[in-house]
Structure 1
Amino acid sequence: MDIESVDPTQVPEGAHLIDVREQDEWDAGHAPSAQHLPASELIARLGDLPEDGDLYLVCRSGGRSRQATMWLNANGYDAIDVRGGMDQWFESGLPMVAEGDAEPRVL
């Protein structure tokens, strides 16, 4: 199935960025504006998703976000995969934050 995808540098400012990684990955480092919604909880937490606009999904390298994007699109959402995930986000020099005082990194 073909899905829409963008490079991390193409995610528009103010976009609904959904990080589908697990808690330890999120804690280590994430985009400052991202919403955390692990792929393992996605179906149970659909009510936590914004109801309007495109959803940009990101994981570590792109596998989980691609799967979640396909599922969301098949169920009526407008989802876009962020190619290369947080690995590419970090390599592109985009801003990241970590929980606590830790230096942000990608797990």
Structure 2
Amino acid sequence: MQVDELYRRRNDIQLVDVREPEEWHAGRIEGARHIPMAEVPSRLAELDRTQPVVTVCRSGHRSGQAAEFLRQQGYAAENAEGGMQAWQQAGLPFTTPEGKPGKVA
């Protein structure tokens, strides 16, 4: 999914940020759920199987792998193409958990 479409649909999907904690704290999309990539298999119960899932990471590589894994588990999952780098390049809003302007780490 392209980041502009993700931004438009962000209230209708489950957005899962699979980056590491230091990346998440540097800047995240409002409303995203933080589940580091290594924890996705053990935290599937936190996701609603009836709602679409979009995964995001820094560049789209890890989140692409996570989306593929989720599809194999029966979720309607897509990857945020280009990740947080594309989100930032598009000028879309993201912040630290404290509400300060975010950066891509």
**Residue 28 of structure 2 aligns to a residue in which SS?**
coil
Give 5+ residue unaligned stretches, structure 2.
none
1:95 and 2:93 aligned: yes
Q: Deviations over 1:70-102 (max 9, x none)?
A: 111111111011100000011111110103364
**Residue 55 of structure 2 aligns to a residue in which SS?**
strand
> What amino acid does structure 2 have at the position aligned with 1:66?
G
3, 10, 13: which one aligns with 1:13: 10
For the 8 Å contact 1:28–1:102, the answer to whether it is kept is: no
Q: Deviations over 1:40-90 (max 9, x none)?
A: 101111111123211010000011000011111111111011100000011
- 1:48 equivalent in structure 2: 46
Question: TM-score by structure 2 length?
Answer: 0.90
Greater displacement, 79-88 / 12-21:
12-21
- 2:65 equivalent in structure 1: 67
Distance 1:77 1:101 in 2: 31
- 2:31 equivalent in structure 1: 33
Change (3 A) 1:41 1:13: closer
Greater displacement, 24-33 / 91-100:
91-100
Name the % identity. Answer: 36
> What amino acid does structure 2 have at the position aligned with 1:13?
R
Higher helix share: 2
Question: TM-score by structure 1 length?
Answer: 0.89
Distance 2:4 2:30 in 1: 14
Change (3 A) 1:33 1:101: closer
- 1:83 equivalent in structure 2: 81
Give 5+ residue unaligned stretches, structure 1.
1-5
Greater displacement, 94-103 / 79-88:
94-103
For the 8 Å contact 2:16–2:32, the answer to whether it is kept is: yes
Aligned length: 102
